[in-house]
Structure 1
């Protein structure tokens, strides 16, 4: 029975990961995803939620892509977190990688960057991606998309790859962009959330 349950979960996770890949990984931004309750999509396709309307981020956990132990999103509670969902096979992910790294360095200890690598069946490809683009912040290895499925539907959940989500210091989903982000656009997304914590 447990084998059947595991197989069902794996099938569902693979299906969701495939749907994410098909829905995203294009160079065009998605600006039509702001129909959920409690959040609005502004210019540029960035959806935001006012503090009173935010829902808790799921406790994303997993093995570090570099193999050095496990990572938990909840370990960063008290900090603003930028969560980027990416794959080495994704052209828009490659386009945004350097800007994400530059922005991570700009904020330093004030903002924690965390990646979720998905649909890379061989982690070596993802590790090579990070080395090529000089990415130094950690990533969780989530090849079947199981961690991505933890986000509640109807929230600022990821629906394409790449997706970047800003999580406030209380561990709630504050903003989301389902497209490749420039460093400038990312800062516009992060700064208002960061200002709340002062």
Structure 2
């Protein structure tokens, strides 16, 4: 898989100035005395109830055997089938976020707006990454109205692949040919995401 890292001036500035990379006292750090990310359970009765209350859509594995993404299986946040990323096909938008990320909170309503308007043509999947607070993550999704499917990567396994985040939030755009472009997030409207999709996925919306 060939991944192109693009420096989009406006979004890169947002990522540099506003992005939330985990620090020593934030989710994802296991040296601060918190629980180990590898031991985080993202599927409990409490989390399932919270996911249902938030109206988050189920995770659905794709039909492919090698759609272009790494063969890495991620759990479904709040319960449901795990998804092998390699089974997913483009066009597809992945959105990386975590519970304590301020720019992620601001961005999620715009991502949901895009999903409601164009999700039948360009699916969106959120990935709660390097986050040891699945309850807080689901509460954030509920507060922001983010009902698109959500995967979880509390151990940060994606960081060891070509899909490693370049900041928080981050978008990964998977095109129909299986090529992925990583772009710093921080959008404020669905129209901004439409422009990114048209640029990186070659789709006119």
> Pick from 115, 123, 129: which aligns with 1:118?
129
Name 1:10's counterpart in structure 2. Answer: none
1:170 match: secondary structure: coil
User: Are 2:159 and 2:165, in contact at CA under 8 Å, matched by a contact in 1?
Assistant: yes
Point out the more displaced range, 138-147 or 67-76: 67-76
**What do residues 8-50 of structure 1 show as CA deviations (whole Å, max 9, x unaligned)?**
xxxxxxxxxxxxxxxxxxxxxxxxxxxxx9665344246xxxx
> Pick from 175, 179, 190: which aligns with 2:185?
179
Name 2:85's counterpart in structure 1. Answer: 73
> Pick from 163, 166, 175: which aligns with 1:168?
175
Q: How many Å separate the matches in 2 of 1:60 and 1:111?
A: 21
- 1:17-36 to 2 correspondence within 5 Å? none
Structure 1, gaps ≥5 residues long? 1-36, 47-55
Structure 2, gaps ≥5 residues long? 13-67
Give the superposition deviation at 1:81.
0.8
Q: Which runs of 4+ in 1 moved over 6 A?
A: none
Distance 1:42 1:146, change over 3 A: closer
**What do residues 120-172 of structure 1 show as CA deviations (whole Å, max 9, x unaligned)?**
213111111111111121121111211232226xxxx5221111111101221
Q: Tell me the TM-score normalised to structure 2 length.
A: 0.63
> Pick from 116, 119, 124: which aligns with 1:105?
116
Distance 1:42 1:159, change over 3 A: closer
